[in-house]
Amino acid sequence: MTESHETAVHAEHDHKPHGWRRWVFATNHKDIGTMYLIFSGLMFFLGGAAAMGIRAQLFKSGLELFDPAEFNQLLTMHALMMIFGAVMPAWVGLANWMIPLQIGAPDMALPRLNNLSFWILPFAGALLISAFLVPGGAPAGGWTMYPPLMEQFGASFPMVIFAIHLLGISSILGAINVIVTIMNLRAPGMSLLRMPLFVWTWLITAYLLIAVMPVLAGAVTMLLTDHFFGTSFFNAAGGGDPVLFLHVFWFFGHPEVYILILPAFGVISEIIPTFSRKPLFGYEAMVYATASIAFLSFIVWGHHMFTVGMPVAAQLFFMLSTMLIAVPTGVKVFNWTATMWRGSLSFEPPMLFAVAFLFLFTIGGFSGLMLALVPSDYQYHGTYFVVAHFHYVLVPGAIFAIMGAVYYWLPKWSGRMYDMRLAKWHFWLSAIFVNVLFFPQHFLGLAGMPRRIADYAPQFTDWNMVSSIGGFVFGAAQLLFPYIVWQCVRSGKPVGANKPWEGAHGLEWELPSPAPYHSWQEPPSEAVLAHGAEH
Amino acid sequence: MRRKGGRGDRAAERAEEGPGRCARLGKGAGIVSLAAAMAGAVPAFASGWDLLNMPRGVTNVSTRIYSLHMMAFWVCVVLAALVFGVMIWSLLFHRKARGAVPDVTMVHNTKVEIVWTTIPVLILVGMAIPAARLLVRINNNTDSEVSIRVNGFQWGWQYQYLGTNVSIVSKLSQSSDAASMLDSGTNPRSVPHYLLSVDHPLVVPVGEKVRLLITSVDVIHSWWVPDLGVKRSAIPGFINEASFTIDPSKPGVYRGQCADLCGRGHAYMPIVVHAVSPAAFQTWLKQQESAGKQVSTGEPAPPAAST
């Protein structure tokens, strides 16, 4: 087939299959991206329902709703659903949608692999959730799955391990696709240091995924063989070492938290310049800071284990390496601040979420710095102070960034504008009540309330009630989000030929809205590239 | 089936408890006695709204941890004030609605970037030095006067005083246990130190260095008493060390909980430490020793049961 003939075929019609075939046999990056985002949304609400159960149980002292075993199942599944089901697939969905648009590629490099990596997910998700239905219920050892406790759970134990294997395979395939796409399908002239930061952060995230998902797979496989095949990797009675699991798990677990947050840094670095009407300050520093954070994430895992009895020298090492992360993270926050400085700011919903991210993620960063100091960590470890810390970086961090990204690019995807007033309601309810929900948890942790307890002493009731009320309102406010998106796609006002955001920049805005089914059938010229970069 | 059901079996135990039982009587009487019980309970809990910060604690280590924590907190507050101040200034004064014109030439400034990389490094070094010193000090477990082996189990603690035959099994007190059942009908506030009281507390001397050798017989637990500044994981197959010296002027009762998820009873394995004078401690220890090998069911002398 000659090139001109192929172009003609494409131009005639976007030969997309119709009906269910379009989705089941999907190879189009936009269709797959959409499915990822819908899957992520479903898991977000399921994980959120578990969180509502947790907050209802903790509304007051005295066991009210759930038996402690059920409570432990809820909190374990809440974490697994949110991390592996909601946040990670949301980022892969956004990568699918945006990377080809942003680098001038027609699609992802490996479309069939893309189909496979998505279609593993519904099965993995179903396997994970069905753990609730088997005798003995879901695993209740926390998402950290520490042995020997984890091995005390019955029929659901292998189900969750296989679900994690599947989710891990899906992530690795997705990451391979992202790397191959970015390395091979950039438009001529789109050098690495001209790539938008969302692409950069995703490239680095993809390497993190490939590096650590196999480590998790190894750790849970060892758990499985310990349980069913008589090995003793983690069984002290058989000469094994339960602390080995903690080391292996957190060697995965710390890069994992950056997998959840680095693409958020990318999104914020796209949104803030747009609504400040000013280029990103310190682009190259941002790239190097992201890479430094990714590198450091491999040498800080011990800070999750300060109380397990590591040698003092090891504790010192992990304390110092952890504190070091504050430097590149600080650079990022300063650069975002400098981007807003002397800008011309306006506060559409994506910017509102980005500004909230900036403040609240930074608060999570500060509590992270406090947690890095080993002697203080002896008091913080395993308490609600830690719960407050990681929810501050994950909820107003990762999740606000995902929502900001959807509000930012939805007009690009759908060609329609959403109800701005309703989106602002969604924002203000979320931003206020996320603090009502999580800020008091700092107090609870410092005052001595351990995390993961089904019931607590009466003196902790007051702040728990505040936190639960915050949780209920925050949870209810999230129902606005799918409604706003649905309403936009169905009947939003078409955005027409103009950019929906006047300060927007980048290749994706050089395409019409909605973006054509096949993104860049011809690579953008240098003129288009330069125009896209202009402000 | 520990938490669900079991109401019938516990009826006899409950009958011994005044306030808890009253709450389940007829409505009128229940409310009156409940109010009385809550009023009586007030000094025990004070107000939950005041619980905002880490306790200063009663050991040399815990007070230093508190100081380090407060130092780090204030450093964060100052940094937050500076960073958020600049952000808020931009949000207020660099708005399009106010006619702000963007300075699009502002993309990079090496000098500023070097400054905001090096200053945080210096601040971090300033925080790391005292933290490292304290860390080394905390992990010095030598020269202890009393050694106690702590065995975590699902769900409680066993304490063995090394060099003696004294061994104590410490579990959630019966009053808390009964009130903690699903649908127990008991107001937790009517139970003294709900979920933070045990049948047989750990007894230690004040002013002497106590060393703990912490391990577990089943899953990973964590022995934590905030006022002592001690938290160590109890891991099967490992023995972790920790030590503390309680201020001689601060005898008293100090409470904590297991701090690592250890199954359905995780919320129900509190730790209660009775700190008494060295003389009282010796008397208690002798009494326990002479009581022979049955001590774990015996009544510890200075503290009453269910504290």
> Mean pLDDT for chain B?
83
Tens of pLDDT, residue by residue over B228-266, are 999 999 999 999 999 999 999 999 999 999 999 999 999
Interatomic CA distance for residues B119 and A420, integer angstroms = 41
Tell me the Ramachandran region of residue B306: left when phi exceeds 0, alpha when psi lies from -120 to 50, beta otherwise: left
Cα A97 versus chain centre, distance: 15
- Compute the average pLDDT of residues B120-125: 96
First to last CA, chain B: 26
Number of domains chain A contains: 1
Tens of pLDDT, residue by residue over A489-527, are 999 999 988 889 999 999 999 999 899 888 888 889 888
Q: Say yes or no: A533 contacts chain B, CB-CB below 8 A.
A: no
Q: With a cut of 50, say whether residue B14 has pLDDT above it.
A: no
- Compute the average pLDDT of residues A462-469: 96
Cβ contact A283–B108 (<8 Å):
yes
Q: Which two tokens stand for residue B267?
A: 């919320």
> Can you tell me which residue has the tokens 């050098």?
A191
Name chain B contacts of A309, Cβ cutoff 8 Å. 232-233, 235, 238, 240-241
Q: Are A261 and A487 in contact (CB under 8 A)?
A: no
Residue B210: partners with Cβ closer than 8 Å, 6 or more residues away: B144, B145, B146, B147, B148, B204, B243, B244, B245, B246
Q: For position A14, what pLDDT does the model report? A: 59
Q: With a cut of 80, say whether residue A233 has pLDDT above it.
A: yes
Burial A298-322, CB ≥16 within 10 A → b, else e: ebbbbbbbbbbbbeeeebbbbbbbb
First to last CA, chain A: 40
Q: For position B291, what pLDDT does the model report? A: 82
* SS3 of B10-21: HHHHHHCCHHHH
Comparing CB atoms, the residue among B113, B193, B264 nearest residue A72 is: B264
Residue among A227, A303, A381, A391 flagged as catalytic: A303
Q: With a cut of 90, say whether residue A273 has pLDDT above it.
A: yes
Paired sense of beta strands B146-153 and B156-161, if any: antiparallel
Tens of pLDDT, residue by residue over A288-328, are 999 999 999 999 999 999 999 999 999 999 999 999 999 99
Binning pLDDT at 50, 70 and 90, where does residue A535 land?
low
Tens of pLDDT, residue by residue over A399-423, are 999 999 999 999 999 999 999 999 9
Within a domain: residue A294?
Answer: yes
Is A303 a catalytic site residue? yes
* Cβ neighbours, 10 Å, residue A138: 25
Q: Are A401 and A357 in contact (CB under 8 A)?
A: yes
Q: For position B38, what pLDDT does the model report? A: 42
Is A256 a catalytic site residue? yes
Q: Are A379 and B226 in contact (CB under 8 A)?
A: yes
User: E strand or H helix at B230, and its extent?
Assistant: strand B230-234
Comparing CB atoms, the residue among A67, A284, A323 nearest residue B124 is: A323
| A-chain residue closest to B106, CA distance | A281
Nearest to B151 by CA among B205, B261, B232, B263: B232
- A241, A288, A374, A534: which to substitute to probe chain B, counting the most B Cβ within 10 Å? A374
Interatomic CA distance for residues B133 and B156, integer angstroms = 34
Cα A511 versus chain centre, distance: 27
Cβ contact B4–A67 (<8 Å):
yes
> Would you call the peptide bond into A514 cis, given omega within 30 degrees of 0 as the criterion?
yes
Domain membership of residue A356 as a residue range: 32-533
Q: Which two tokens stand for residue B135?
A: 């860390």
Give the C-alpha distances (Å, rounded to integers) separating B279 from A273, B283, B290: 70, 6, 17
Interface ipTM: 0.92
- The residues pairing with A326 across neighbouring beta strands, listed in sequence order, are none
Binning pLDDT at 50, 70 and 90, where does residue B302 land?
very low
Residue A75: partners with Cβ closer than 8 Å, 6 or more residues away: A50, A54, A142, A452
Range 289-348 of A in CB contact (< 8 A) with B: 307-309, 312, 315-316, 319-320, 323-324, 326-327, 330-331, 333-334, 337-338, 340-346
Q: Are A415 and A495 in contact (CB under 8 A)?
A: yes
Comparing CB atoms, the residue among B87, B116, B258 nearest residue A330 is: B116
Interatomic CA distance for residues A160 and A171, integer angstroms = 16
Q: With a cut of 80, say whether residue A104 has pLDDT above it.
A: yes
Name chain B contacts of A453, Cβ cutoff 8 Å. 257, 266-267
Cβ contact B139–A343 (<8 Å):
no
Within a domain: residue A7?
Answer: no
> Would you call the peptide bond into A516 cis, given omega within 30 degrees of 0 as the criterion?
no
Q: For position A498, what pLDDT does the model report? A: 80
For residue A173, give the CATH number of its domain.
Answer: 1.20.210.10
Q: What is the DSSP letter of A88?
A: H
Residue among A171, A205, A362, A367 flagged as catalytic: A171
Q: What is the DSSP letter of A374?
A: H
Edge-to-edge order in the sheet of strand B270-276: B202-205, B270-276, B252-258, B221-225, B230-234
Within a domain: residue A27?
Answer: no
Tens of pLDDT, residue by residue over B67-78, are 999 999 999 999
- A332, A344, A371: which to substitute to probe chain B, counting the most B Cβ within 10 Å? A344
Q: Which two tokens stand for residue A116?
A: 């496979």
* Cβ neighbours, 10 Å, residue B270: 26
Within a domain: residue A425?
Answer: yes
CA angle B94, B100, B101 (to 5 degrees): 120
Q: For position B50, what pLDDT does the model report? A: 83
Tens of pLDDT, residue by residue over A337-381, are 999 999 999 999 999 999 999 999 999 999 999 999 999 999 999
* SS3 of A30-49: HHHHHHHHHHHHHHHHHHHH
What does chain B come to in residues?
307
Q: Say yes or no: A475 contacts chain B, CB-CB below 8 A.
A: no
Interatomic CA distance for residues B215 and B152, integer angstroms = 6
What does chain A come to in residues?
535
How many C-alpha atoms does B280 have within 13 Å on its Cβ side? 16
Name chain A contacts of B187, Cβ cutoff 8 Å. 62
Within a domain: residue A9?
Answer: no
Cβ contact A376–B262 (<8 Å):
no
Helix %, strand %, coil % of chain B (to 5): 45, 20, 35
The fold of B60-138 is Helix Hairpins (1.10.287)
Q: Are B241 and B262 in contact (CB under 8 A)?
A: no
Interatomic CA distance for residues A353 and A395, integer angstroms = 11
Q: For domain B1-52+145-307, which architecture applies?
A: Sandwich (2.60)
Binning pLDDT at 50, 70 and 90, where does residue B36 land?
very low
Interatomic CA distance for residues A417 and B10, integer angstroms = 62
Q: Report CA dihedral (A241, A247, A253, A254) to the nearest 10 degrees.
A: 170
Q: Report CA dihedral (B82, B84, B90, B92) to the nearest 10 degrees.
A: -120
Q: Which two tokens stand for residue B305?
A: 């049961």
Binning pLDDT at 50, 70 and 90, where does residue A93 land?
very high
Is A297 a catalytic site residue? no
Cβ contact B138–A375 (<8 Å):
yes
Nearest to A250 by CA among A221, A224, A222, A219: A219
Q: For position A16, what pLDDT does the model report? A: 75
Q: Are B267 and A68 in contact (CB under 8 A)?
A: yes
Q: Are A150 and A223 in contact (CB under 8 A)?
A: yes
> Mean pLDDT for chain A?
93
> Can you tell me which residue has the tokens 């709450």?
B23
Q: For position B26, what pLDDT does the model report? A: 37
Within a domain: residue A18?
Answer: no
Q: With a cut of 90, say whether residue B43 has pLDDT above it.
A: no
Q: Which two tokens stand for residue B245?
A: 């010296």
Is A107 a catalytic site residue? yes
> Residue B148: what are its φ and ψ, rounded to 5°?
-130, 130
Q: For position B69, what pLDDT does the model report? A: 97
Q: For position B28, what pLDDT does the model report? A: 40
Residue A480: partners with Cβ closer than 8 Å, 6 or more residues away: A422, A423, A425, A426, A429
> Would you call the peptide bond into A341 cis, given omega within 30 degrees of 0 as the criterion?
no
Q: For position B4, what pLDDT does the model report? A: 45
Q: With a cut of 80, say whether residue A7 has pLDDT above it.
A: no
Is A170 a catalytic site residue? yes
Name chain A contacts of B100, Cβ cutoff 8 Å. 342-345
Which of the two residues, A214 and B300, has the higher pLDDT score? A214
> Can you tell me which residue has the tokens 């208690």?
B284
Q: Which two tokens stand for residue B156?
A: 């409680």
Nearest to A39 by CA among A73, A77, A84: A84
Cβ contact B260–A446 (<8 Å):
no
| B-chain residue closest to A136, CA distance | B1
Which of A60-69, B22-31, B151-160, B285-294 has the lowest average pLDDT?
B22-31
Domain boundaries, chain B: 1-52+145-307, 60-138
Within a domain: residue A437?
Answer: yes
Residue B223: partners with Cβ closer than 8 Å, 6 or more residues away: B150, B152, B157, B212, B214, B230, B231, B232, B234, B242, B256, B258, B259, B271
Interatomic CA distance for residues B33 and B27, integer angstroms = 10
Comparing CB atoms, the residue among A366, A374, A443 nearest residue B80 is: A366
| B-chain residue closest to A69, CA distance | B264
Within a domain: residue A10?
Answer: no
What percent of chain B is modeled with pLDDT above 90? 67
Is A6 a catalytic site residue? no
Q: For position B46, what pLDDT does the model report? A: 57
Cβ contact A375–B107 (<8 Å):
no
Cβ contact B189–A236 (<8 Å):
no
Nearest to A402 by CA among A39, A175, A178, A91: A91
- B69, B261, B268, B271: which to substitute to probe chain A, counting the most A Cβ within 10 Å? B261
